[in-house]
Structure formats: structure tokens, C-alpha cells
Amino acid sequence: DAGVIQSPRHEVTEMGQEVTLRCKPISGHNSLFWYRQTMMRGLELLIYFNNNVPIDDSGMPEDRFSAKMPNASFSTLKIQPSEPRDSAVYFCASSFSEQGELFFGEGSRLTVL
Amino acid sequence: KQEVTQIPAALSVPEGENLVLNCSFTDSAIYNLQWFRQDPGKGLTSLLLIQSSQREQTSGRLNASLDKSSGRSTLYIAASQPGDSATYLCAVYNNNDMRFGAGTRLTVKP
């Protein structure tokens, strides 16, 4: 299996622009997680889906952030409008079940100028 | 609210040494605990997953133990190698939430 695939790997954008991050989970996994990692705050759970349904989005910072999972093999995390404080590495992870072993993608490094 | 702490924050050892990384958590009602490795600029790689009913898991030179009652887990690395240099994170799952520690940055010197 190719593992969890994220794109883009790097994104540099200007404040106010829309950013869309993409994730393809491991085939057969039914839980998908979006995390954000910064030096100051470490790894933070933003939102997770089970069977394509958002279960917990309490970690989403504010209304500028939204996430969708239209089918079992694709998810997006959108930031609109982006701000410099959104600069971080965003990870997608998937697992066979909500409590199962978690597998991470390589991350999308976002820089908002 | 679950809090996960990893000590030490950084560790430097000579090649060949056996070492122990520590992870503690405040809420013992966990489903599982997972150890990860993260190399600079990379994602997290799963090393070991311990279910709440288990006491330990082994993979090659790695051995992870879990003591739920005391809220502790250890990751034992035998015969360390320079390639083991990375940041090691533990994560605890309970109440539909997975909490990560801040990690231990390990350097193994040749």
C-alpha cells in the first residue's frame, strides 16, 4: 500500500488567500484525522471522520477552517482566508478504526506570508 | 482532560547504549497507547501500539511497556544506533481523543 498521501507537500501563500490541503487515506481505513503541528503547541487534533462522517471538530481553530470527506478515499482541509498564524505542518492520518493503529502522511508544510 | 508528558525532552547517548524513554499520562482510562518516531521534515512513523489490556509489545530492538494504573509507558531501545536518532512521541487514546506528548529528541552519536 502507498500509505497516506498528502498534497501539496509545501505551500507558500499570502495572507487572505484560500488554501486547500488534500489527503488520500490508506485503502480500507474508515477513520481519518487532520492534525496540525507547530513548535509552540506540538501536535493538535483538528477534526476526525469515521466512515466519512465528521465525529469531532472541536479542535478546528475557527470558522476559517473547514474539512470535508466526500468519499472514503479523499478528504480536504480548507483555510479561507488564511493568516500568518496558520503557518504550520498539517498532517493527515488514517486508521482501520477510531481506536486502531494510526498511520500518518508526510504532511503539508504551509507558510502564510 | 488527558495530559501526556514525555521525559526527557532531549537525550544524547553513544552508539551501542541501551536507553529508556518515558511517557506519563493523567487519565488511566485509555483504549491504547502508541509510540511514534518522527524524523526532521517527515511524518510520524508508527513503532508500537499497546492495547489497554496488554502490558508490553516488542518489535526488533524496541520494547514498549504499559502500566495503566500508574499512568506510565516506557520505550526501551536496545543497542542504539545512529539511525535511531529522531524524535519519539507517545500518544494516548481515550474518550474519542488521541493526545500526543511533546516528544523526546534522541541523538545517538557514532
Tens digit of each residue's pLDDT (9 = 90 or more) over B9-49: 999 999 999 999 999 999 999 999 999 999 998 899 999 99
Q: What is the spatial distance between Cα B107 and Cα B110, in angstroms, rounded to a whole number?
A: 10
Beta strand B97-100 pairing with A88-95? unpaired
pLDDT on residue A103: 94
pLDDT on residue B98: 84
Q: Mean pLDDT throughout A87-109?
A: 92
Task: Give kind and range of the element (H or E) at residue A105.
Answer: none
Q: Could you tell me if B95 lies within 8 Å of chain A, comparing CB atoms?
A: no
Q: Is A101 in Cβ contact with B49 (below 8 Å)?
A: yes
pLDDT on residue A20: 98
Out of A18-27, A57-66, A94-103, B50-59, least confident range: A94-103
pLDDT on residue A1: 62
pLDDT on residue A100: 84
Neighbouring-strand partners of residue A69: none
The distance of Cα A61 from the centroid of its chain, to the nearest Å, equals 13
Q: Mean pLDDT throughout B54-81?
A: 96
Q: What is the spatial distance between Cα B28 and Cα B52, in angstroms, rounded to a whole number?
A: 9
Q: What is the spatial distance between Cα A87 and Cα A71, in angstroms, rounded to a whole number?
A: 27
Residues 6+ apart with CB under 8 A from B25: B2, B3, B4, B5, B33, B71, B72, B73, B92, B99
Q: Is A99 in Cβ contact with B34 (below 8 Å)?
A: no
pLDDT on residue A88: 97
Chain B residues near residue A43 by CB distance under 8 angstroms: 89, 91, 100
The answer for A 26-55 residues in CB contact with B (under 8 A) is 33, 42-43, 45, 55
Chain A residues near residue B9 by CB distance under 8 angstroms: none
Q: What is the mean pLDDT of chain A?
A: 94
Q: Mean pLDDT throughout A25-33?
A: 94
Q: Is A108 helix (H, G, I), strand (E, B) or coil?
A: strand
Q: Mean pLDDT throughout B83-94?
A: 95
Q: What residue in B sits closest to A95 (Cα-Cα)?
A: B46
> Taking 80 as the threshold, does the pLDDT of residue A37 lie above it?
yes
